[in-house]
Amino acid sequence: MKLALITRRYPPFIGGAEKVLSYLAPALAAEGADVTVLTAHAPGLAEHEEIDVPAGRLTVIRLATSRARFIGTWLYMRNLRRWLSEHAIDAAYVSMLKHDAYVAVERGKRLGFPVVLRPEGAGATGDLAWQSWGRFGQAIGRRCREADAIVSISQAITTELLGAGFDGKRIQSLPNGVPVPTTPWQPRPDWRSAPRAHFVGRLAPEKGLDTLVDAWPLVLATHPRAKLTLIGEGPERAALERQVERLGLGDSVELPGATDAPGARLLESDLFLLPSREEGMSIALLEAMALGVPLVASAIPGNQHLVRDRVLGRLAPPNDPEALGRAILEQWAEFDQATRMGQAARRRVAEEFSIAAVARKHIDLFHRLLDERGRGAAHS
């Protein structure tokens, strides 16, 4: 099976959507698929890259674009359309319901290959919200509704898709998947002397990091040497730095920037924190669960789908610094119990959200779509 995975941004760029595809692409190839990732070119990156994957083939093609805002989008769309026209594929899988999706659905209709779209989020920052205000968003939305299937990672996304007029029969509920490391997290012997908590993700308003920083003085009152590390980059960095300074938190809060290996940092952590206001299905949360790190997350639908409170971790109301601070302190006060919850979370990810299992579900979906068309070979 020849698959094209289409995403405007792909590692080494770091973000939830980028990670999803960077995990899924090799997992699909490991299932025997011939996978080509089509993404936008960036300075310093090879235009063509072959990645060694057992059992299959994975190629990354970075299409020419431009840093100029509108010109860059036009060039990327033109080159994506050209590639899809010149190369035979069996199916296309597109991250985000934006310009890439518009091109892929149009090419799929014309050339006869099925197209599967994947919204990456819901709410004010989600794909469908963008279609309401983005340039050409409404036209893109109309074209997206013609896709052969839509993968939904959460009930919130499904609800928005139905409200926007997408055919419910084409919506497929498939979760995000992550690798399950062979080496799990283990408690540090001397963690109580200076406990460490980590957040991993984009420094953006929807992540609720202002609430977390507001909660940190409550934590320091019990653990004066506690350290909070916010791993990531984003538009809220400057505001968070000012907030840390205003609250007099000094070096108890650090913002080291983004990393392409958050797992190594989480292995050194004593608690993973995700105080988001909005989430679809957080890759960072799944990665922490896959390691077995004790956690505290906000009690919002996307997180509640993954974490059962006091069974797999702790949930605290969003936008409530006092409740968040209490949950953090309770996890550290009852650390043996927190550790057992982390172990249970790791087992759940291994059973339901491993990238290998998720890849097989995607392969099944592509086969069903091809069977409906009565063919299984790439168009020519």
Compute the distance between CA of residue 117 and CA of residue 47 in angstroms, rounded to an integer: 24
Q: Which pLDDT score is estimated for 378?
A: 52
Q: Within a 13 Å sphere around the CA of 260, how many CA atoms are in the beta-carbon half?
A: 8
DSSP annotation of 224 reads T
What domains can be seen in the chain, in order of their start residue? 2-177+355-373 (3.40.50.2000), 191-352 (3.40.50.2000)
Q: Find all residues with CB under 8 Å of 346, minimum gap 6, and list them.
A: 180, 184, 289, 290, 291, 292
Query: Which helix (H) or strand (E) covers residue 196, if one does?
Result: strand 196-200
Q: With the CA atoms of 361, 367, 369 and 374 taken in that order, what torsion angle do they form, in degrees rounded to the nearest 10?
A: -170
Beta 314-316 vs 295-298: how paired, if at all? parallel
Question: Residue 374 — φ and ψ, nearest 5°?
Answer: 75, 25
Q: What is the DSSP string of 141-168?
A: HHHHTTSSEEEESSHHHHHHHHHTT--G
Question: Which residues, 6+ apart, have CB-to-CB distance to 104 below 8 Å?
Answer: 4, 6, 80, 84, 92, 94, 115, 117
pLDDT in tens, the chain (380 residues): 999 999 999 988 778 888 889 999 999 999 999 999 999 998 899 999 999 888 889 999 999 999 887 899 999 999 999 999 999 999 999 999 999 999 999 999 999 999 999 999 888 889 999 999 998 999 999 999 999 999 999 998 999 999 999 999 999 999 999 999 999 999 999 999 999 999 999 999 999 999 999 999 999 999 999 999 999 999 999 999 999 999 999 999 999 998 878 889 999 999 999 999 999 899 999 999 999 999 999 999 999 999 999 999 999 999 999 999 999 999 999 999 999 999 999 999 999 999 999 999 999 999 999 999 875 445 44
The DSSP-derived string for 316-371 is E-TT-HHHHHHHHHHHHHTHHHHHHHHHHHHHHHHHH-BHHHHHHHHHHHHHHHHH
- Looking at the DSSP bridge assignments, the partners of residue 35 are 3, 58
367: CB partners within 8 A, 6+ apart? 1, 376
- Which pLDDT does position 317 carry in this prediction? 98
Instruction: Give the pLDDT confidence score for residue 380 in this predicted structure.
Output: 41
**CB proximity list for 144: less than 8 A, separation 6 or greater:** 97, 101, 102, 105, 117, 131, 150, 166
298 forms beta bridges with 316
Please give the order of strands across the beta sheet that includes 196-200: 253-257, 227-231, 196-200, 272-274, 295-298, 314-316
CA distance 230 to 293: 16
Beta bridge partners of 295: 272
Nearest by Cα to 197 from 183, 210, 184, 216: 216
Predicted local confidence at residue 377, as pLDDT:
47
CB 97 within 8 A of CB 141: yes
Peptide bond connecting 184 to the previous residue in cis, omega within 30 degrees of 0: no
Decide: 258 and 104 in contact? Cβ < 8 Å.
no
Structure tokens at 309: 């409170």
- Under DSSP, the state recorded for 190 is T
**What is the reported pLDDT for 340?**
98
Q: Answer whether 110's CB lies under 8 Å from 99's CB.
A: no
> What Rg, from alpha-carbon coordinates, does the chain have?
21
The CA distance from 18 to 39, in Å, is 10
